[in-house]
């Protein structure tokens, strides 16, 4: 199995998608626990602000608290968990005061990715964006149905991560993975609940066309405009009409995988 396939098969038996797996050749127990924790946060099982019950999680994973704590500290460093003196760990919240910074960081990473892809020769570029086109088709299918907020949200974030993954740049992918999870946390932290836009197909179609044409500048500008609209919507200052659907980040069927 190649690396791309390995990352893409990260669902295991939980409601997780592509952005969440560390690229490791021989994952240690600490690595695997970190993946499980990220999955639980992204999937909505560990909601923003919720406590991480060490004993319960360690029991479900079949591990001792030592490696669990080591893994949790990684997520603290990534900005996904926060340690409270005398009160353990909890999932961070991403409030309105951090939304602008979050999307600026995503723009920096994703703009670098699309420019890198656009600069390739046509045949190599086509090969790199093939998987992103498949992810676009998944987004189109989710939007055509239009009723499942979680499915739309997953497909949208899958596509954005897929563009970074297409570069093969492991550092960009690592940064993007953390930012994608923080984006989900921001959506789950919003005062209006979990809400996604349903009118985003055209902007993503335009983005992929610009990439296919090798126009990195235009693709970067399209990303910037799309993110600007997203920030304005989340902060309640988007004046133009837009359509959304709301729902729950359904992590109810997720359980931690017992590690070998």
Query: Is the per-residue pLDDT at 5 higher than 80?
Result: no
CATH no. for residue 76?
1.10.10.10
Asked if 108 and 86 sit in the same domain, the reply is no
Task: Examine the domain organization and report whether 125 and 238 are in the same domain.
Answer: yes
Beta bridge partners of 81: 91
Residues 73 and 176 in one domain: no
229 pLDDT band (50/70/90 cuts)? Answer: very high
Contact call for residues 196 and 95 (beta carbons, < 8 A)? no
Q: Please provide the average confidence, as pLDDT, over all residues in the chain.
A: 88
Q: How many domains would you assign to the chain?
A: 2
Q: Which CATH number belongs to the domain containing residue 126 in this structure?
A: 1.20.120.530
Q: Which domain holds residue 238?
A: 98-247
Claim to verify: residue 85 and residue 148 sit in the same structural domain: no
Q: Confirm whether 260 is domain-assigned.
A: no
The answer on 62 and 136 residing in a single domain is: no
Q: How confident is the model at residue 260 (pLDDT cuts 50, 70, 90)?
A: low
CA distance 99 to 94: 7
Residues 88-117 have pLDDT tens digits of: 899 999 999 999 999 999 999 999 999 999
- Asked whether residue 180 falls in the same domain as residue 231, the answer is yes
In a shared domain, residues 52 and 156: no
Co-location of 47 and 136 in the same domain: no
Let me know if residue 12 belongs to a domain. no
* 200 has a pLDDT exceeding 70: yes
Which of 72, 91, 110 is a domain's end point?
Answer: 91
Q: How far apart are CA 148 and CA 232, in angstroms?
A: 23
Which of the listed residues 46, 62, 91 is the one where a domain comes to its end? 91
Residue ending a domain, choose from 91, 106, 126: 91
181 & 62 share domain: no
pLDDT value, residue 4 = 41
Closest CA to 135 of 1, 2, 4: 4
Q: Is the pLDDT of residue 13 over 70?
A: no
Q: Are residues 179 and 214 in the same domain?
A: yes
Same domain? For 60 and 174 the reply is no
For residues 19 and 134, what is the distance between their CA atoms, to the nearest angstrom? Answer: 16
Percent of the chain residues past pLDDT 70, beyond the cut: 86
Considering the domain boundaries, does residue 226 fall inside one? yes
| Range of weakest confidence among 128-137, 203-212, 242-251 | 242-251
Distance in angstroms (rounded) separating the CA atoms of residues 249 and 8 = 20
| Residue in 161, 186, 183 with CA at minimum distance from that of residue 172 | 161
Residue 202 and residue 184: Cα distance in Å, rounded?
22
pLDDT of residue 250: 58
């Amino acid at each position: 199995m190649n690396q791309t396939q390995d990352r893409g098969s990260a669902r295991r038996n939980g409601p997780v998608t592509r952005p969440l797996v560390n690229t490791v050749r021989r994952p240690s127990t600490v690595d695997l626990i970190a993946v499980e924790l990220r999955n639980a946060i992204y999937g909505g099982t560990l909601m923003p602000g919720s406590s991480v019950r060490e004993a319960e999680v360690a029991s479900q994973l079949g591990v001792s608290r030592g490696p669990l704590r080591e893994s949790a500290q990684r997520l603290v460093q990534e900005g996904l968990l926060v340690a409270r003196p005398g009160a353990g760990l909890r999932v961070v919240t991403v409030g309105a005061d951090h939304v602008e910074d979050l999307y600026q960081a995503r723009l920096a990473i994703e703009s670098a990715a699309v420019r890198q892809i656009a600069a390739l020769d046509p045949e190599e570029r086509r090969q790199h964006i093939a998987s992103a086109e498949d992810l676009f088709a998944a987004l189109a299918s989710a939007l055509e149905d239009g009723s499942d907020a979680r499915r739309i949200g997953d497909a949208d974030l899958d596509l954005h991560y897929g563009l970074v993954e297409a570069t093969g740049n492991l550092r960009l992918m690592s940064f993007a993975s953390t930012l994608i999870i923080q984006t989900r946390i921001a959506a789950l932290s919003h005062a209006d609940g979990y809400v996604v836009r349903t009118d985003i197909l055209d902007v993503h179609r335009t983005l992929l066309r610009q990439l296919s044409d090798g126009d990195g500048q235009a693709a970067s500008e399209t990303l910037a405009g799309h993110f600007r609209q997203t920030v304005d919507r989340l902060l309640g200052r988007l004046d133009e009409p837009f359509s959304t659907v709301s729902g729950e980040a359904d992590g109810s069927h997720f359980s931690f995988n017992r590690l070998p």
